[in-house]
Structure 1
């Protein structure tokens, strides 16, 4: 693909302050997109000047609508939405509170729904677009002690298919990326749940056919492809980017 496969397109990337979201912001800029991103805190000091920042909570429908309007005002017709903002709570169902439900499902499920609902009319006006949702392999195979997170990502996968089916006639594609173990703060928190975190990391690493854990840039490259014309015939899909982790049997290949 050409290096500037998103040249001139307006994109919103939610949760772009750090981790996977920040990597997608940087990759989209390099591919020529004009990017608005957001988070619940103040603008990061190291965010490039040409990236628009809004302080926003995607669980609030009014703030989602304002993000779409802000992107159109700043850069023009909206063509790309990446629903990346997310929250992780490390608890079982029994341990989870109503507040935990509101936090996780509010950002990970309701936020994806509301951002898509706000963006679809704008994309229709633009003549089409691409929605990229950040799901997780945890939406298919449950990680221990992350009940609400697992459930929220399963919702994202299902909503992705519905958006693709219902809005394909508008020229809108929708796909989800299912990251595996990507080395971010969330991954570190997940490993910390183990009785022996270092042993858990060694065991997990041995299950990766690629021989390494993922980096945010690995997900960003997939997000560029899904937003570009190179994936024009791809919609309603969940694309796994996990270094081969879920391709393996439950047997640890490092023991053979």
Structure 2
């Protein structure tokens, strides 16, 4: 064992100057991930379809001292995913970290849901992630990079939901399966693949659940009755697991789904 890290165990989490690609960087988790990695010293490639929104995220990351390159593309096609990775190599000449935060939900009872709507959720959450991983993996393996891949799953990959989540739950279960498969497939290349699975955390989409009014108080109380830690998630609850999975602190962890959910899926 090389004891050098014992002089500063925090060095295990050091990602300074690593090149990180974050997709879905205009969304709640993607923008958070971008800012966490920026604050930790990574060089960023931020990809999203909404150029103005991702530009705002980029500005916030630059304010944290990060170098940032923007790619205004969603991972809708093979060409999109290849272009994102090529942009990273052109900008920085390296690929070290991939965070796939792009995705979608479209709640609908299965009896009313069209195959086209189901396919859109699966494409957004599974096919896009698969294409991004393929494009990233091809380049990382060719270059011999000991890389890190982090997918975004959900507590709904393990648990069902009564509010028309048949497509979303299926897609996040598939994300967990992709995580395990690639963890096994890429282990020999020194590439780790893991997923973060949050439950409700504070974001623009969920801000109403944190408010003090009759509707929010009831919904929150019903939900928290099933959360052992008794509160909703905050952004910093996701920041720690993300930094762990993107750094050499997680070099012996792969194929895992890390539930950042206050114990919600434990019961």
Q: Give the TM-score normalised by structure 1.
A: 0.88
Which of 75, 80, 92 matches 1:63? 80
Once superposed, what is the RMSD of the aligned Cα atoms? Answer: 2.1
User: How far apart are 1:98 and its partner, in Å?
Assistant: 2.6
Residues 58-97 of structure 1 aligned to structure 2 (within 5 Å) = 58-97=75-114
Residues 1-256 of structure 1 aligned to structure 2 (within 5 Å) = 1-2=10-11, 5-44=14-53, 45-46=55-56, 47-48=58-59, 49=62, 50-124=67-141, 125-144=143-162, 145-187=164-206, 198-248=217-267
Q: Give the TM-score normalised by structure 2.
A: 0.85
> Could you tell me how far apart the structure 1 residues matched to 2:247 and 2:77 are?
29
Secondary structure of 2:184's partner? helix
Secondary structure of 1:133's partner? strand
CA separation of 1:32/1:177 partners in 2, compared to 1, >3 Å: closer, same or farther? Answer: same
Task: Name structure 1 gaps, 5 residues minimum.
Answer: 249-256
| 1:3–1:31 CA contact under 8 A, matched in 2 | no
Secondary structure of 1:78's partner? coil
User: How far apart are 1:221 and its partner, in Å?
Assistant: 2.2
Cross-structure match for 1:251: none
**Cα offsets for 1:63-102 (capped at 9, x unmatched):** 0000000011112210111111010111122121233123
**Cα offsets for 1:102-151 (capped at 9, x unmatched):** 32111100011000000002211142201101001101111221110110
User: How far apart are 1:189 and its partner, in Å?
Assistant: 9.3
Off by >6 Å, runs of 4+ in structure 1 = 188-191
> Could you tell me how far apart the structure 2 residues matched to 1:169 and 1:222 are?
24
Q: Which has the higher helix share?
A: 2
> Could you tell me how far apart the structure 2 residues matched to 1:171 and 1:207 are?
38
User: How far apart are 1:190 and its partner, in Å?
Assistant: 9.9
